[in-house]
Structure 1
Amino acid sequence: MTSVEIEYCVPCGFLERAQAVQYALLQSFGDRLEAVTLRTGDHGVFVVRVDGEVVFDKADDEFDVDGLVRTVRDRL
């Protein structure tokens, strides 16, 4: 099964953003995912990994929950 990790910046207040992505993924693919974990970070990080591979990095892309769901769907 597929695992997703969401690393987010605690000092930046990205917890709600990370939880929104986690919720959307579990809502959409809960039965097909092994885990959707949150990992604390700093320095402005917001990265989503699917089975260890970076599929979203805030430094490179604009944040979009629906876009992240589509990206993860493509990996399942």
Structure 2
Amino acid sequence: MKPVITIEYCPKCGWLLRAAYMAQELLTTFTDDLGGVTLRPSETGGAFIIRLNDSILFDRKEAGHFPEIKWLKQLVRDQVNPEKSLGHSDRP
């Protein structure tokens, strides 16, 4: 069974579009590696949490910022397909 990403976002903060953009990027990059990306509105204000199955990959409140998409792709790649090349996203 392929892993699933869940992006929990704060709808009151207007972060749906940011969550949708990240979902699109992950689905495009990891077409054969992910079982899907779920967007989940949070009941907690200010939440933006990205999970891989049940493990938290990123929490905006802990980090103090949103993830850069390049970094997020590298993080997901390292978990779901470490051998996958991300092309220009792998360059410093």
Shorter-normalised TM-score: what interval?
over 0.9
Match of 1:52 among 30, 54, 66: 54
Identity of aligned residues (%): 37
Deviation, structure 1 residue 35: 1.1
One-letter amino acid of the counterpart of residue 50, structure 1: L
Q: How do 1:22-37 and structure 2 match up within 5 A?
A: 22-37=23-38
* 1:13 lines up with 2:17 in the alignment: no
Q: Which structure is larger by alpha-carbon Rg, 1 or 2? A: 2
Runs of 4+ in 1 over 6 A off after TM superposition: none
| Bigger fraction of residues in strand | 1
**Secondary structure, aligned partner of 1:48:** strand
Which of 52, 65, 71 lines up with 1:67 in the alignment?
Answer: 71
- RMSD value over aligned CA atoms? 0.9
Q: State the alpha-carbon separation in 2 of the partners of residues 74 and 44 from structure 1.
A: 27
- Cα drift, residue 31 of structure 1: 1.5
Q: TM-score, normalised by structure 2?
A: 0.78
User: 1 or 2 for the larger relative contact order (CA 8 Å, sep ≥6)?
Assistant: 1
The count of residues paired between Structure 1 and Structure 2 equals 76
Q: Could you list the runs of 5+ residues in structure 1 that have no partner in the other structure? A: none
Post-superposition Cα deviations, 1:19-40, rounded to whole Å, max 9, x if no partner, equal 1110110010011111100000
1:32-71 Cα offsets, whole Å, 9 max, x none, are 1111000001410000000110000001223211111111
Letter in 1 for 2:49: V
Q: Report the Cα distance in structure 2 between the residues aligned to 1:25 and 1:69, rounded to whole angstroms.
A: 7
